[in-house]
Structure 1
Amino acid sequence: MLKMIDHSMIKQHITTLRDHNTLSAEFTQVAGRISEIMLYELLKNEPVNEIKVDTPIKKDVTGYKLSYNYIFIPIIRAGLTMIPNARRIVPDAKIMHIGIARDEVNQDYITYLDKVYKSKGNDHAIVFDPMLATGKSAAIAIKKLQNAGYKKITFIGIIGVDEGIEYLENEFGKDFEIYLAVKDPILNSKKYIEPGLGDAGDRAYGLEKDV
Structure 2
Amino acid sequence: MSQVHLIDHPLVQHKLTLMRRKEASTNSFRRMLGELSTLMAYEITRDFPLQDLEIETPMEKMVGKVIDGKKLALVSILRAGNGFLDGMLNVVPGARIGHIGLYRDPETLQPVEYYFKMPDNMGERDVIVVDPMLATGNSAAAAVQQLKDKCAPKSIKFMCLLAAPEGIKTMQAAHPDVDIYTAAVDRQLNDHGYILPGLGDAGDRIFGTK
* Secondary structure in structure 1 of the residue aligned to 2:114: strand
List alignment gaps of at least 5 residues for structure 1.
none
- Residue 163 (str. 1) matches residue 147 (str. 2): no
* Secondary structure in structure 1 of the residue aligned to 2:90: helix
Aligned counterpart for 1:151 among listed residues 136, 151, 154: 154
How far off is 1:67 after superposition?
4.6
- Which region of structure 1 is more displaced relative to structure 2, 108-117 or 138-147? 108-117
Which residue in 1 is equivalent to 2:91? 89
- Contact 1:32–1:85 (CA under 8 A) maintained in structure 2: yes
How far off is 1:42 after superposition?
1.5
Matches of 1:115 and 1:87 in 2, distance apart? 18
What are the Cα deviations for residues 162-211 of structure 1, in whole angstroms up to 9, with x where unaligned? 111111110111x4210010010010100000010000001111114xxx
- Which region of structure 1 is more displaced relative to structure 2, 61-70 or 49-58? 61-70
How far off is 1:118 after superposition?
5.6
Which residue in 2 is equivalent to 1:63? 64
Matches of 2:81 and 2:49 in 1, distance apart? 26
Matches of 1:118 and 1:92 in 2, distance apart? 14
Superposed counterparts of 1:47-196, under 5 Å: 47-59=49-61, 61-67=62-68, 69-117=71-119, 119-147=121-149, 148-173=151-176, 175-196=177-198
- Which region of structure 1 is more displaced relative to structure 2, 46-55 or 124-133? 46-55
- Contact 2:97–2:118 (CA under 8 A) maintained in structure 1: no
Matches of 2:202 and 2:40 in 1, distance apart? 18
Matches of 2:108 and 2:5 in 1, distance apart? 32
* Secondary structure in structure 2 of the residue aligned to 1:143: helix
Matches of 1:27 and 1:120 in 2, distance apart? 32
Percent of aligned pairs with the same amino acid: 34
Q: TM-score, normalised by structure 1?
A: 0.92
How far off is 1:44 after superposition?
1.9
Matches of 2:109 and 2:196 in 1, distance apart? 18
- Which region of structure 1 is more displaced relative to structure 2, 158-167 or 114-123? 114-123
How far off is 1:122 after superposition?
3.5
Superposed counterparts of 1:194-209, under 5 Å: 194-208=196-210
Amino acid at match of 2:106: E
- Contact 1:116–1:145 (CA under 8 A) maintained in structure 2: no
RMSD: 1.5
- Residue 38 (str. 1) matches residue 54 (str. 2): no
Q: State the number of aligned residues.
A: 206
- Contact 1:119–1:149 (CA under 8 A) maintained in structure 2: no
Q: TM-score, normalised by structure 2?
A: 0.93
What are the Cα deviations for residues 99-120 of structure 1, in whole angstroms up to 9, with x where unaligned? 1111223323211111135644
List alignment gaps of at least 5 residues for structure 2.
none
Runs of 4+ in 1 over 4 A off after TM superposition: none
